[in-house]
Chain A
Amino acid sequence: MEFFERFAVPHPSPAIYASMVAIGLTVIAIFAGLTYFKKWGFLWREWLTTVDHKRIGIMYLISAILMLFRGGADAIMMRAQLAAPENKLLDAQHYNEIFSTHGVVMILFMAMPFIIGLMNFVIPLQIGARDVAFPRLNALSFWLFFAGAMLFNISFVVGGSPDAGWTSYFPLAGNDFSQSVGTNYYMIAIQIAGLGTLMTGINFLATILKMRAPGMTLMKMPMFTWSAFIANIIIVFAFPVLTVALAMGTLDRLFGANFFTSNNGGMDMLWANLFWVWGHPEVYILILPAFGIYSEVISTFARRNLYGYKSMVGSMVIISVLSFVVWVHHFFTMGQGAFVNSIFSITTMAIAVPTGVKIFNWLFTLHKGKIVITTPMLYSLLFIPLFTIGGVTGVMLGMSAADYQYHNTMFLVAHFHMVIIPGVVFAMLAGLTYYWPKMFGFMLNERIGKWSAWTIGISTLVAFMPMFFSGLDGQARRMYTYSEASGFAIWNMISFIGAAGLAVGFALIVYNIYYSFRYASRDIGSDPWDARTLEWSTHTPVPEYNFAKIPQIDSVEPFWDQKKHGKKLFEGELEKIHMPNNSGIPFIMGILFFLWGFSFIFAMWIPVIIFTLAIFGCMAYQSFEKDHGRYIPLEEVEETENKLGGNR
C-alpha cells in the first residue's frame, strides 16, 4: 500500500476522479475496439512502425489536435473561474496547476507538433524529395515527443500536476515550494519531448540542405521551406539550452543539488535566464513556419507570386539572429539595472522591424493580386490585423521602463495570446485546411470552414482584447480570483464569452471534419486550389515514394510554370525506387522512454536503471542491424502511377 501512496493525487477533486474514470474507460474502449475489429496488425504495420514522413506528419497533427482540446479544456476552466469575482469553481491550487499545464501543453505539445507535423508532411514534397534525410530518426522524434506528451498529460491523475507556471521559475519550482511530483513531470516530460524536437531539427536541416530536387537552389526554395529551415536552425541552437536547464532542475529536485536554490551558492535567476534563452527563440520557432504557411496561402489565393521574396528570406534570417539576444525582456523587473535593460529594450524593439517588413510584403502581395477568399485565405487575412495588435503591444512591453507597469499583468497575457493565436494557431488551421486534400483526398467543407474561421477570429478579439484593459487597470496574471470592488468583473466576463466562442469555433472544425469525411467529393484531382509549388504536382493520394520521377526545377514556382508556361517538370524514364524499411524500434524506444521517465519522476531507481539499459540496448541493436532499405520494383511503380491517373 505504501508503495502506491506516492501515486495518489495530492490535491484531488471530484472532477479529477471523474477524469480518471474517463481516461480508464477510453483506454479500455480503444484496446477493446482494436481487438474486436482485429486492427492491431494494421495499426502496427501501417502506423506504429512507419517511417514515412507523410504518416509521421499526420500522427503529429492528430496528437496536436488532441492536445489542443486538452489545453482548451484547461483554458475554459480558467476563464470560467475568472468570469465572476470571488468565484469558487476552482481553488488556488487547482488554478495554479491548470495555468501551468495549459501553457506547457499549448506551446510544447500543441503548437510544436502542429508545426512539426506540417513540416513533416510538406517539406519533402515541397523540395521534391522522397523522404527526409533520416526517416527512422524521424519516427523516433515523433515517438519521443509522444512519450513526453503522454507523460505530461497523466500528471493530474497520477501524483499531481506541475503548479509553478509554464515558466517554472525557481525557487517556486524547487522542492520547498513545489512538494508534489508535479514539477518532476515538467522536467522529465519536456526533456524527453525536447530530445525528439532536437532530432527533428537536425533531420530537417540535413534534408533541406541536401535533398532538394536538382535545380532548386536555396533562393528557389518555397517560402515555407525557407521558414522551416530557419526555424530548425533555431531549434538546433536553442533546444540544448533547455536540455541543460531541465537537467539542472532535475538534479535540484531529485538529487538535492543547489543550482537554483537560495542557499549554498545557488542562483534562482540562472533558471530564468536559461529558460528564456531557450524560451524566446522558441516563440520564433513557432511563428516562423507559421509565417511560411501564410506566405504559401497568400500567394496561392492572391493568384500571384510572393512579393519581396528576398526580403522575406532576409527578414527571417535577421529575426533568427535577434531572437537569441532579447531574452532579458521577460524579466526587466528583476533587477538587471538600467543599462542592461536598455540594451535588451533596443534589441527587442528591433525585432518589430523585420516582422513589419514581412507584414508589408504580404500586403503588397495582396495588392494587385486577384484575391480568392477560401478558408485558408480567410485565416490569413484575419491574421494580418490581429497579429499586428499583438506585435504592437509587444513593442510596448519591450520598453523596459513601461514594462514595470505591464509586466505580469493581464496586458502581457493579452499580448502573447494575440501573437500566438492569430500568428501560430490561425496559420496551423490555414495550413491544415490547405493541405487537407493532399493528405486525405477530400476537401473540408468551405462553408463550415469559413464559419469557423469567422467564429474563431471574432472570438479571439472578444476573449483577449478585454485583457489589455483589465491588465492596464492592474489585474495580475495567474491570480485565481479578484474582488468585486476591483472592477475587473466586466472584462473577465467578456473574456469568458470569447473563450466560449473559441470553443464553438473549434467544435465547428471538428464537425467540419466529420461532415466532409461523410459527404465531400473524393474526385478532386491533385491540385484543387490551383496552387503554385511542387507539393501539388504529385498525385493525390500521394504515393509512398512521393515522386515517381524527380522533378527538374528552375524557378520558385515550378509547378505554376508547368501549368501556365508548359515547362517540363518531370523528365526521364520511370525506374525502380529505393525506400527505407519500416522499423518497430522507434516505437519501442518511445515506450521505454515513457516508462523510464515515469520511474524517474517518482524516483524509483531500480526501474530507472532497467529502462536505461533497455534504451541503450535498442541503440546497440540498431548499431548492429543491417538495413539497406528496399526497392519498389519498376512494375509496381508503373502500376501505382497508372492507377493514380497517369505517370507524371
Chain B
Amino acid sequence: MKIDHSLPLEYSTEQNRLKILGFWIFLGAEIMLFATLFASYFVLVNGTGNGPSGAEIFEITPVLAETILLLTSSFTIGLAIHAMRLGNKKAMLVFFGITLVLGLAFLGVEIYEFVHYVHVGAGLQTSAFTAILLTTLGTHGAHVTFGLFWGLFILLQVKKNGLTPETTNKSFIFSLYWHFLDVVWIFIFSFVYLKGMM
C-alpha cells in the first residue's frame, strides 16, 4: 500500500481515493432515488382519498425537534472530521459519538411521529398521500437507522485501530453520507412539512 503523505489520511492511498469517488457516485444515485420519491410525493400529495391531508396531521413540535437534532448532528460530524484531520483521536471519537446519539434521538422522535400518524388514521393503507408520505419519510429514516449501525461500527474500529488510512477513509465517507441525509431532510422539511402546513 503506497501512502501519499502530502494528502489527508483519508485520501492517502489509491484505494482510498477510489472509495471516496465511488461514494460520491453512489450519492448521485441516492439523489435520483430521493428525487423520484419527491416527484411521486408531489404527484400524489392531493390523492388523500377519504384520509386526512398533510395539514391535518402534521405537528410542528416533533418536526422542529427532528430538524434541530439532525442539523446539529451534521455539525458535530463535521467537527469530528475536523478533529480527525488534526489527528486528535479523542476529540474525534467524542464528536462522532455525539453525532450518533443525536441521530438516535432523531430516530426516536421520528418513531413517535409515525405512531402518531397511525393513531390519527394516517396509516400506510389509508390513501396514496399517506403511503407516499410514510414511504418518503421511511426511506430517509431507514437510511438514518442504517447509518447508526454503520457509524457505530466505524467508531469501534477507530477506537481499536486508531486513525489509520483505512479508518479515516471510512469515517470520512460516513460523514459524506450523514451530511447527505441532512440535505435530504432539509428538502423534506421544506417541501413536505412546511409546504404541507401552509
| Chains A and B are bound partners | yes
- Chain A interface residues (CB < 8 Å from chain B): 133-134, 198, 201-203, 205-206, 209-211, 236-241, 243-245, 247-248, 251, 255-259, 261, 263-267, 270, 274, 277, 578, 616, 620, 623-624, 628
Q: Which of A270, A274, A623 contacts B150 (CB 8 A)?
A: A623
Contact B124 A251 (CB under 8 A): yes
Which residues of the other chain, A, contact B51 by a CB distance below 8 angstroms?
264-265
Contact A134 B22 (CB under 8 A): yes
Question: Lowest 9 CB-CB distances: which A-B pairs, in order?
Answer: A265-B47, A264-B49, A265-B128, A240-B33, A240-B32, A265-B49, A257-B131, A244-B36, A206-B22
Q: Once bound together, how far apart are the Cα atoms of A620 and B156, in whole Å?
A: 12
Contact A258 B49 (CB under 8 A): yes
A-B contact pairs, 17 of them (CB 8 A): A133-B18, A134-B22, A241-B32, A244-B36, A251-B124, A251-B131, A258-B125, A258-B127, A259-B131, A264-B127, A265-B44, A265-B48, A265-B128, A270-B44, A620-B153, A623-B153, A623-B170
Which residues of the other chain, A, contact B43 by a CB distance below 8 angstroms?
267, 270
Which residues of the other chain, B, contact A267 by a CB distance below 8 angstroms?
43-44, 47, 128
Contact A263 B49 (CB under 8 A): yes
Contact A248 B40 (CB under 8 A): yes
CB distance from B150 to the nearest CB of A (A): 7
CB distance from B195 to the nearest CB of A (A): 18
Which residues of the other chain, B, contact A134 by a CB distance below 8 angstroms?
18-19, 22
Query: Residue of A at shortest CB range from B154?
Result: A623
Interface 1/0 per residue, B125-141 and A, CB below 8 Å: 11111011001000000
Which residues of the other chain, A, contact B49 by a CB distance below 8 angstroms?
258, 263-266
Which residues of the other chain, B, contact A236 by a CB distance below 8 angstroms?
25, 28-29, 32
Query: Residue of A at shortest CB range from B125?
Result: A256
Which residues of the other chain, A, contact B150 by a CB distance below 8 angstroms?
623
Contact A251 B36 (CB under 8 A): no
Which residues of the other chain, B, contact A264 by a CB distance below 8 angstroms?
47, 49-51, 125-128
Task: Given the known inter-chain contacts A240-B30, A244-B37, A267-B128, please indicate yes or no for A251 contacting B135, CB distance below 8 A.
Answer: yes
By secondary structure, the B interface counts as: helix
Q: Which of A206, A257, A578 contacts B21 (CB 8 A)?
A: A206
Q: Which of B1-38 contact A (CB under 8 A)?
A: 1, 17-19, 21-22, 25-26, 28-30, 32-33, 36-37
Q: Once bound together, how far apart are the Cα atoms of A120 and B153, in whole Å?
A: 32
Contact A203 B22 (CB under 8 A): yes
Task: Given the known inter-chain contacts A236-B28, A236-B29, A628-B1, please indicate yes or no for A265 contacting B124, CB distance below 8 A.
Answer: no
Contact B135 A247 (CB under 8 A): yes
Query: Residue of B at shortest CB range from A578?
Result: B1
CB distance from B101 to the nearest CB of A (A): 20
Which residues of the other chain, A, contact B127 by a CB distance below 8 angstroms?
258, 264-265
The answer to the question of B46 belonging to the interface, with a C-beta cut-off of 8 Å to chain A, is yes
Q: Once bound together, how far apart are the Cα atoms of A203 and B150, in whole Å?
A: 21
CB distance from B155 to the nearest CB of A (A): 11
CB distance from B182 to the nearest CB of A (A): 19
The answer to the question of B72 belonging to the interface, with a C-beta cut-off of 8 Å to chain A, is no
Q: Once bound together, how far apart are the Cα atoms of A628 and B19, in whole Å?
A: 14
Q: Once bound together, how far apart are the Cα atoms of A266 and B1, in whole Å?
A: 55
CB distance from B156 to the nearest CB of A (A): 8
Most buried by B among A244, A255, A624: A244
CB distance from B40 to the nearest CB of A (A): 6
Q: Which of A211, A237, A248 contacts B32 (CB 8 A)?
A: A237
The answer to the question of B157 belonging to the interface, with a C-beta cut-off of 8 Å to chain A, is yes
- Chain B interface residues (CB < 8 Å from chain A): 1, 17-19, 21-22, 25-26, 28-30, 32-33, 36-37, 40, 43-44, 46-51, 124-129, 131-132, 135, 149-150, 153-154, 157, 170
CB distance from A267 to the nearest CB of B (A): 6
Contact A256 B124 (CB under 8 A): yes
Contact A255 B124 (CB under 8 A): yes
CB distance from A321 to the nearest CB of B (A): 15
Which residues of the other chain, B, contact A244 by a CB distance below 8 angstroms?
33, 36-37, 40
CB distance from A128 to the nearest CB of B (A): 15
Which residues of the other chain, A, contact B1 by a CB distance below 8 angstroms?
578, 628
Q: Which of A211, A259, A623 contacts B44 (CB 8 A)?
A: A259
Which residues of the other chain, A, contact B149 by a CB distance below 8 angstroms?
616, 620
Q: Once bound together, how far apart are the Cα atoms of A210 and B25, in whole Å?
A: 13
CB distance from A602 to the nearest CB of B (A): 20
Which residues of the other chain, B, contact A277 by a CB distance below 8 angstroms?
36
Q: Once bound together, how far apart are the Cα atoms of A274 and B35, in whole Å?
A: 12
Q: Which of B22, B36, B37, B128 contacts A266 (CB 8 A)?
A: B128
Q: Once bound together, how far apart are the Cα atoms of A526 and B149, in whole Å?
A: 49
Query: Residue of B at shortest CB range from A244?
Result: B36
Which residues of the other chain, B, contact A274 by a CB distance below 8 angstroms?
36, 40
Contact B26 A202 (CB under 8 A): yes
Q: Once bound together, how far apart are the Cα atoms of A259 and B51, in whole Å?
A: 14
Q: Which of A245, A255, A624 contacts B125 (CB 8 A)?
A: A255
Which residues of the other chain, A, contact B21 by a CB distance below 8 angstroms?
133, 206, 209-210
Which residues of the other chain, B, contact A210 by a CB distance below 8 angstroms?
17-18, 21
Query: Residue of B at shortest CB range from A202?
Result: B25
Q: Once bound together, how far apart are the Cα atoms of A266 and B30, in whole Å?
A: 25
Q: Once bound together, how far apart are the Cα atoms of A221 and B84, in whole Å?
A: 38
CB distance from A243 to the nearest CB of B (A): 6
Q: Once bound together, how far apart are the Cα atoms of A409 and B25, in whole Å?
A: 40
Which residues of the other chain, B, contact A628 by a CB distance below 8 angstroms?
1
Which residues of the other chain, A, contact B125 by a CB distance below 8 angstroms?
255-258, 264
Query: Residue of A at shortest CB range from B161?
Result: A626
Contact B25 A206 (CB under 8 A): yes
Q: Once bound together, how far apart are the Cα atoms of A261 and B125, in whole Å?
A: 11
CB distance from B168 to the nearest CB of A (A): 15
Which residues of the other chain, B, contact A255 by a CB distance below 8 angstroms?
124-125
